[in-house]
Amino acid sequence: QKEVEQNSGPLSVPEGAIASLNCTYSDRVSQSFFWYRQYSGKSPELIMSIYSNGDKEDGRFTAQLNKASQYVSLLIRDSQPSDSATYLCAVNGNRGSTLGRLYFGRGTQLTVWP
């Protein structure tokens, strides 16, 4: 059973600060990693995908992957109140019948206060 663990939160940061969200995963051969944002009462929205070690930047979001440490993170720069949501880390199972299955962490609730 693959496990995905996220820092428990909730996380609260002031507007304009950097929010740092962390995730570890148990299956060393995982290849695809995703961050989803979920507003209260809504469905998850894909905001970042990363497949290779290193950093991937998209606007105010930076995903970081370290496969040796089985660690993936999301940094949100210049945080805005509209970033307040639950952030879900997901790992893609890529062996046998689990190909394409996403394993999710429980999510970290982020609040950005003005």
Q: Between 17 and 49, whose beta carbon lies closer to another protein?
A: 49
State the binding string over 12-41 for another protein (x if CB under 8 A, else -). Answer: --------------------x-x-x-----
Distance CA 92, CA 27 (A): 10
Distance CA 22, CA 5 (A): 8
Q: Which of 45, 57, 58, 78 binds another protein (CB under 8 A)?
A: 45
Two tokens, residue 87 = 């952030």
Residue 68 · residue 54 · CB < 8 Å? no
Q: Is 92 in the site for another protein (CB under 8 A)?
A: yes
Single-letter amino acid code for the residue at 102: L
Q: Between 68 and 99, whose beta carbon lies closer to another protein?
A: 99
Classify the C-alpha dihedral 47-21-82-15 as positive or negative.
Answer: negative
Residue numbers 49-88 binding another protein by CB under 8 A: 49, 51, 88
Which residues in this chain contact another protein in the complex, by CB under 8 A? 4, 32, 34, 36, 42-46, 49, 51, 88, 90, 92, 94, 97-107
